[in-house]
Structure 1
Amino acid sequence: MFRYSLTRAVGRLCRAEEWVGVVLATALAACAPVPPAVNQAAVQPANQASAPAAVRPADGPLPVPPNLVALAQPAGQKRLTASAASQSYWPLSQYFETQRNEAYCSVASSVMALNALGIRRPESSQYADFPFFSQEDFFHGIDPQVANAAQVSKEGMTLDQLSAALSTFPVEVRKYHGADLSLDQFRDLVRTTTQHNDRFVLLNFRRVEIGETGGGHWSPLAAYDAASDSALLLDVARYKYPAVWVPVTQLYAAALAVDSVSGLSRGIVVIGKRPN
């Protein structure tokens, strides 16, 4: 009788161990890594389209046109380190921003430059203890008739409009319509400005002239490379394109493009510290 009871007890224990083993295996399977995407694709229905992200390159959501050189690439990095006109890059890169919405390129470019100038900053609604120029607060001191958040969120800003808005801040603002500059004047303006860390070029251009997808846009120019005659565009639409080197001749053509809102050419706004 004792032997029979012992045998039944051992049997129950073995079955219990088997049950624990099954539960443990199931739990481990739940924590296991998801199979590689290639295996998942093999079981997808033939008519199911692939996710767009799967075909996008690693250096940006949209492919960089072949005429441009991405800053993140070795050739792009080499241009920056070799450039004698790259002083604007360092303060701008410290405050590099992505535009809040698809029409806020002018606002993102502006707050980058304002913060990079090191001028006195206003109180911030985001950072109570730290004054800061932000896209959220940009329009607080600007006359709504000049520019307001609701309108800019839909239409963006023209060259004249941004120049007027920036004049509200304690900075020196100079605007240049592309049609008022020759190619040589445009190049000299970019080169001489990017040699300084206390003034910055904000470029209003049309993307198609530089081979990109899209329409009118604003972004800062942070450096000029004489060897390649190209300038570094710090694109604030970072979800769309990375920072790229663009031939100056193409940037000039993009600045000559007419803004459909103003009926005037696009161009450059230079923002800097006011002289003492």
Structure 2
Amino acid sequence: MSQANTSASDQPAHRRRRALRWALSGVLLLGMLAGLMWYGRALVAPQPERFASGVMTDGAALVQLQQAPLAQRFLRDFRTQALWSSCGPASLRNVLASLNRPVARERDLFQGDTLAWLRMLATGMTLDEVAALAKATGIGHVQVRRDLSEQDLRTLLRSLSTPGRRLIVNFDRAPIHGVALGHFSPIGGYDPASDRVLLLDVTPGFGMQLVPTALLAAAMRTEDPVTGRQRGLIQIDAKPSDAD
């Protein structure tokens, strides 16, 4: 009888200790997330003095390409990323908006999958994960393109006039912006005369840029340390009902 009473009296203390462990784990997790978010914001702060030679952030050529039909479809409802790690979902949201499929919030793209949303908050997303998110919207044909040569990339860029075609590029910022960090942004056009790409950077403060095709190709031919695979781009060909 005495032993049974002792065991019963130990149960509330055991529950309190377990609750304390869970609470401490939660505080530790929140602290880690806060630290990651602070570190991420520091990394993505724009520093134009680090931009590679040949990257244009102003000028007549940039203005002219921004006025082209494809860029205008993006600019009518273009939004920068809401969180330091959400460049992938932000890029996809802007693509959908350009195809007359507006999405109110980046989180809505996850269709209630809270775990996937939280994982994105902590670590960002890989090329294949953003492609899967795009496929889940039912927008049309979605494919991941890796190992593109410079000429392959130019050929694809020239096809941007194809109705409903959109490109989301995944690259390391280091060759272009001098900061080693994986990033996503949609492409808003191509200027064959200067061989530059209109990069619609979704990070606040970076703005739109004309990036030499060779430089963008080099930034894409980098390894994603999460997957060990080369970066690349997502090609989206919208269904006829959503095409331009």
Query: Scaled by the length of structure 2, what TM-score is found?
Result: 0.72
Secondary structure, aligned partner of 1:103: coil
| 8 Å Cα contact 1:233/1:245 also seen in 2 | yes
| 8 Å Cα contact 1:221/1:232 also seen in 2 | yes
Q: Do structure 1's residue 76 and structure 2's residue 58 form an aligned pair?
A: no
Q: Distance in 2 between matches of 1:210 and 1:271?
A: 24
| 8 Å Cα contact 1:117/1:199 also seen in 2 | no
Q: Distance in 1 between matches of 2:145 and 2:193?
A: 26
Structure 2 counterpart of 1:103? 85
Report the Cα offset of residue 80 of structure 1.
4.6
Q: Distance in 1 between matches of 2:179 and 2:216?
A: 15
Structure 2 counterpart of 1:154? 122
Q: Do structure 1's residue 189 and structure 2's residue 156 form an aligned pair?
A: yes
Structure showing greater radius of gyration is 1
CA offsets 1:35-81 (integer angstroms, 9 cap, x no match) = xxxxxxxxxxxxxxxxxxxxxxxxx94215232001x4334224555
Q: Distance in 2 between matches of 1:75 and 1:248?
A: 15
Q: Distance in 1 between matches of 2:163 and 2:209?
A: 20
| 8 Å Cα contact 1:80/1:225 also seen in 2 | no
Structure 2 counterpart of 1:237? 203
| 8 Å Cα contact 1:201/1:270 also seen in 2 | yes
Structure 2 counterpart of 1:210? 176
Moved more, 132-141 or 264-273: 132-141
RMSD value over aligned CA atoms? Answer: 2.3
Q: Distance in 1 between matches of 2:174 and 2:124?
A: 17
**1:137 maps to which of 100, 108, 114:** 108
Report the Cα offset of residue 271 of structure 1.
2.1
Q: Percent identity?
A: 29
**2:142 maps to which of 153, 161, 174:** 174
Unaligned runs of 5+ in 2: 1-44
Aligned amino acid, residue 134 of structure 1: R
Q: Distance in 1 between matches of 2:75 and 2:239?
A: 22
Q: Do structure 1's residue 221 and structure 2's residue 187 form an aligned pair?
A: yes
Number of residue pairs the alignment of both structures matches: 195
Q: Distance in 2 between matches of 1:263 and 1:254?
A: 15
Secondary structure, aligned partner of 1:217: strand
Report the Cα offset of residue 205 of structure 1.
0.5
Unaligned runs of 5+ in 1: 1-59, 122-131
Query: Scaled by the length of structure 1, what TM-score is found?
Result: 0.64
After superposition, the Cα gap between the structure-2 partners of 1:101 and 1:154, relative to the gap in structure 1 and judged at 3 Å, is: same
CA offsets 1:106-162 (integer angstroms, 9 cap, x no match) = 01101111121114x5xxxxxxxxxx4421322125695xxx111011111111111
Q: Distance in 1 between matches of 2:132 and 2:65?
A: 34
Structure 2 counterpart of 1:273? 238
The aligned runs of 1:246-265 (5 Å cut-off) are 246-265=211-230
